Structure 1
Amino acid sequence: MSHVHANARFVPLGISVLTVSDTRGFDRDGSGDLLSERLSEAGHALVERRIVPDDIYRIRAVVSKWVVRDDIQVILVNGGTGFTLRDTTPEALAPLFDRAIDGYGELFRQLSFDSIGTSTVQSRAVGGVANRTLIFAMPGSPKACATAWDGILESQLDARTRPCNFVAMVMPEQQACVSREAQAMCDQGQGVSA
């Protein structure tokens, strides 16, 4: 189980939030509100927030613009991950990934099972890395966004989480994942050779 390491320092990340919806505006975007509040409370910076219709090319266009920006390390996408014909978020994002983060979707569905049972198989939550930018897509309900943030993303976007977190992937100057043995040596001031 991961834990926050006392000697590591918190590194604030630039995070953008994209809500995918054909019907919501900012006045009714509870999921975007929740993610924006949670990331700010955790100490990260909300760089930009947008809402786009559930259209594969509009989703891809916004995310493509964000992955080339130096001030954005993480993109959180909510909505469009179901099985209807209008749910195209995974198809929009997958071609952009340099590498998929398969464990994110797997863990999201495992955590969701506790609250929604077998309906979790209909979630197509996906994650990946594009141009050293982390992208995580989740269902559009506030409850699902809370599950993703509270159960996975908050700790994985915290440089203090050990033994591993995603911060080193997007902030090269941060320490990469290390084994428990190597971490124990660092804690004792013995250092670790690469």
Structure 2
Amino acid sequence: MMSPPAHATALHVLPDEAPIDRDAAMVAVADLLAALGFDPDEGDLVETPRRVADAFIEMMTPEPFEMTTFANEDAYDEPVVVRGIPFVSLCRHHLLTFRGTATVGYVPGERLVGLSKLARVVAHHARGLQVQEALTMQIARTLERALEPQGVGVVIEAEHLCMSARGVRTEGALTTTTAFRGVLATDTALQGRFIGARPV
């Protein structure tokens, strides 16, 4: 029995993005420490510029992958949903992390996608300087382009360190953002099933 034809969409860093200068980043971190009153040449701070630069580079560099899709031979037309996808991203306003979980899914059209790829889409877009609203939209748009589904849904809940560790210091407060497209935007019963609501 032949396997259904596969089609791959590559998700990668845009080729015109500025190259990362690791050495300059390390110097900048050392300068920041000095500006804040710390001696970057003292004791256990000596390696801090390298560690911080490498941490930021890791968090800002999306991992490329190919989102392979398959023909929907059985015409499956119910929501396919993966819940509780963990992620960590970097707030573009404060350079502090925000972390949480994503619920991502779609109502298939002619193509299906492996479930692990839904988690990879989240991980891919979480890398970089982000705001939660944009992250939610980017995941939805990527699934729309790759699958051309009947509908797409993305729900993200996250705690932002810029709120919980500084400023108002609301530890444990969660921010929720959503993106619903196609039938998931117009069919409230289907949308309720997507987000896990139980009928009354």
Q: Same fold judged by TM-score > 0.5?
A: no
Structure with bigger RCO (C-alpha 8 Å, 6+ apart): 1
Q: TM-score, normalised by structure 1?
A: 0.25
Q: TM-score, normalised by structure 2?
A: 0.24
Task: Report which of the two has the higher share of helix.
Answer: 1
Task: Report which of the two has the higher share of strand.
Answer: 2
